[in-house]
């Protein structure tokens, strides 16, 4: 089954939220475990001002981000922006601290690399790549620590920092390329969905086109046979429409068709009913469950609403032909192609009734009986 593009994008949005929650849960677990395993005693001063301070502040930030995402699950990007800004600032401070102590950035490298992989998923390939580049630039800024310049970095520390930046860039690039594939697929899916929609809908009126109208009529015939309910069909033809095109142009003709389609559709409120463009200036109205007297009254009402108000300066009328299928449930021995035969008979009878309305002076409703074997 073809999936609507909105559903795919909803799935992607939900995936973004789950990934962020997963990353947040992992970081909070990391913060708790590493703090407990650290030889430094756990005291308020150690947590807020001592060796654990950056981890503590990052954990608090992640907790706030998790709560915000829980409160606004569809605002992943909006929630992540301040989170990302604070993460960048904390990264700069942590990098400066590691730079001064000449310590290998093992923990920081792992978490920043994970963040690099998440950014393109959350913000899209282009914006995510730019943000990843900004994060790498933030680390470079942190490495330029004036108070630590005299200390310098030995070769091992330089190798550690170079490895960190290379792995971060590779993670960001890989995630960006993967996200580009997803985005290209979604865009192609959107185009395919639009093409399918265009194939189903008449571009002038926005109504179902003839192919879809026939399919819906087939389904209505089957349902009428299954439940033994009546089924009425109306064909409406705009009177003297050719003169509108000839005298006022095809654009005026299209405006007339759109206006008539809107008027007709607005007055057909039958459950599972259909208003479609049958072709040219003809419209079809399928009315499941509606017996002939009610269908005739509706046809008269549609004739009146079309003629009630000129469209622009163009007075307009319509002729209506109709018929009704009235029978009990389908007999088990009925031929398999009976549905198609009945559909053809319905259209033929409605068309003959429409022809009779035209010959009788137009701007009227005519019905012909139908009782197929």
Q: Which residues are catalytic?
A: 281
N-to-C CA span, the chain: 36
Report whether 241 contacts 253 (CB < 8 A): yes
Q: How far apart are CA 8 and CA 189, in angstroms?
A: 9
Compute the radius of gyration of the chain from its Cα atoms: 35
Determine the length of the chain: 373
Joined together, the tokens standing for residue 357 give 């309305």
Joined together, the tokens standing for residue 280 give 């040219």
Q: How far apart are CA 125 and CA 118, in angstroms?
A: 10
CB atoms within 10 A of CB 300: 12
Half-sphere exposure of 256 (CA within 13 A, CB side): 27
Q: How far apart are CA 120 and CA 319, in angstroms?
A: 59
Half-sphere exposure of 134 (CA within 13 A, CB side): 14
Q: How far apart are CA 218 and CA 228, in angstroms?
A: 15
Which of 325, 321, 313, 310 lies closest to 362, judged by CA? 321
Report whether 35 contacts 52 (CB < 8 A): yes
Report whether 232 contacts 295 (CB < 8 A): yes
Farthest CA pair distance, the chain:
104
Q: What is the sign, positive or negative, of the torsion defined by CA atoms of 151, 155, 161, 166?
A: positive
Could you list the beta-strand ranges (E) of the chain.
231-238, 274-279, 282-288, 318-325, 365-367
Q: How far apart are CA 38 and CA 197, in angstroms?
A: 61
């Amino acid at each position: 089954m073809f999936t609507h593009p909105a559903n795919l994008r909803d799935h992607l949005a939900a995936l973004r939220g789950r990934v962020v929650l997963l990353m947040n849960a992992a970081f909070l677990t990391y913060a708790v475990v590493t703090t407990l395993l650290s030889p430094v005693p756990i005291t308020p001063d150690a947590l807020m001002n001592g060796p654990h301070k950056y981890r503590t502040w990052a954990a608090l930030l992640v907790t706030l981000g998790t709560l915000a995402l829980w409160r606004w699950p569809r605002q992943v990007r909006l929630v992540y922006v301040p989170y990302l800004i604070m993460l960048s600032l904390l990264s700069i401070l942590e990098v400066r601290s590691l730079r001064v102590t000449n310590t290998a950035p093992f923990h920081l490298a792992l978490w920043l690399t994970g963040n690099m992989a998440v950014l393109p998923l959350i913000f899209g390939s282009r914006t995510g790549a730019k943000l990843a580049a900004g994060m790498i630039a933030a680390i470079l800024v942190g490495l330029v620590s004036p108070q630590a310049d005299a200390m310098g970095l030995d070769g091992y520390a330089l190798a550690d920092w170079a490895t960190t930046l290379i792995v971060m860039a590779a993670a960001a690039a890989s995630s960006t390329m993967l996200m580009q594939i997803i985005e290209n697929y979604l865009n192609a899916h959107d185009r395919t969905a639009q093409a399918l929609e265009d194939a189903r809908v008449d571009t002038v009126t926005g109504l179902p086109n003839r192919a879809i109208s026939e399919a819906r009529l087939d389904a209505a015939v089957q349902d009428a046979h299954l439940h033994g309910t009546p089924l009425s069909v109306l064909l409406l033809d705009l009177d003297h429409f050719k003169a509108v095109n000839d005298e006022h142009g095809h654009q005026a003709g299209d405006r007339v068709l759109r206006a008539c389609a809107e008027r007709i559709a607005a007055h057909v409120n039958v459950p599972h009913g259909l208003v479609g463009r049958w072709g040219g200036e003809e419209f079809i109205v399928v009315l499941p469950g509606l017996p002939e007297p009610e269908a005739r009254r509706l046809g008269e009402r549609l004739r009146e609403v079309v003629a009630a108000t000129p469209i622009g300066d163009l007075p307009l009328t319509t002729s209506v032909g109709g018929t009704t299928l009235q029978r009990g449930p389908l007999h088990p021995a009925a031929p398999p192609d009976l549905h198609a035969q009945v559909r053809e008979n319905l259209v033929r009878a409605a068309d003959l009734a429409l022809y009779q309305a035209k010959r009788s002076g137009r701007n009227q409703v005519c019905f012909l009986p139908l009782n197929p074997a």
